[in-house]
Amino acid sequence: MDQPTAAAYDRLAADFAADWHAQPAPGDLQALVTRFFVPQGRTADIGCGSGREIAWLNANGYPAMGFDPSVGLLAQARGRYPDLSFATAALPDLVGLPDASFDNVLCETVLMHLVTEMIPPSVLRLMAILRPGGCLYLSWRVTTAADQRDAHGRLYTAFDPRLVTDALTDATILLDEDATSASSGKPIHRLVARKREAGAANR
């Protein structure tokens, strides 16, 4: 993650966590997970923040672990959900996460915090940790024209969605759309892709 962004999340972790947990439930995200994710599949939430989605995943049949680069946000997550599992990991490397170790990967509104050149390798790494036949959910806040920083210093990168889709060479794209987040009310782009089984022909 962009370092000023990570520093902002550490510095204001309690405030961000309180804001996220006060937002409406992300019913649109939950509906897509229910529709596309492998039932009962081992799930990773990359960029889990304060753990709201991890709690929902574990309560709804997707045994999940959360990963985030922010020590402050992970502390918030562990405080709110002491019985769930969280660990430190950052895109693009995701050090410590073996290849082909998850049936489902959720990466909700994270990519926009990466500099442009880090987006393709991050998508490739997210696909690498999926098992064949596994499902990837990606979304990001849409920023137009030029990169921006908010009042807290968080980076919002403006990038062409083709940076993401072009990296999904080992996947079938199941959903690719612009939307408005039911939780934050912000414009997002979201994408769901299924990792191809070994030997499957490209489509």
Residue 163 has pLDDT above 90, yes or no: yes
Task: For 137-154, write each residue's pLDDT tens digit.
Answer: 999 999 998 999 999 999
Q: Using pLDDT thresholds of 50, 70 and 90, give the confidence band for residue 135.
A: very high
Residue 190 has pLDDT above 70, yes or no: yes
The confidence score (pLDDT) of residue 95 equals: 96
- Over range 194-198, report the average pLDDT: 91
Task: State the chain's mean pLDDT as an integer.
Answer: 95
Q: Using pLDDT thresholds of 50, 70 and 90, give the confidence band for residue 199.
A: low
Sorted by where each starts, the structural domains of the chain and their CATH numbers stand as 3-182 (3.40.50.150)
The confidence score (pLDDT) of residue 23 equals: 95
Torsion of the alpha carbons at 79, 83, 84 and 90, rounded to the nearest 10: 40
Q: Are 112 and 143 in contact (CB under 8 A)?
A: yes
Three-state secondary-structure class, residue 185: coil
The confidence score (pLDDT) of residue 203 equals: 41
The confidence score (pLDDT) of residue 93 equals: 97
Burial class (CB in 10 A: 0-12, 13-18, 19+), 77: buried
Task: For 18-27, write each residue's pLDDT tens digit.
Answer: 999 999 999 9
Task: For 112-134, write each residue's pLDDT tens digit.
Answer: 999 999 999 999 999 999 999 99
The confidence score (pLDDT) of residue 202 equals: 45
Give percent of the chain with pLDDT exceeding 70: 98
The shares of helix, strand and coil residues in the chain, as percent rounded to the nearest 5, are: 35, 25, 40
Give φ, ψ of 66 to 5 degrees: -105, 140
The confidence score (pLDDT) of residue 198 equals: 76
Residue 156 has pLDDT above 90, yes or no: yes
The confidence score (pLDDT) of residue 200 equals: 59
Task: For 33-63, write each residue's pLDDT tens digit.
Answer: 999 999 999 999 999 999 999 999 999 999 9
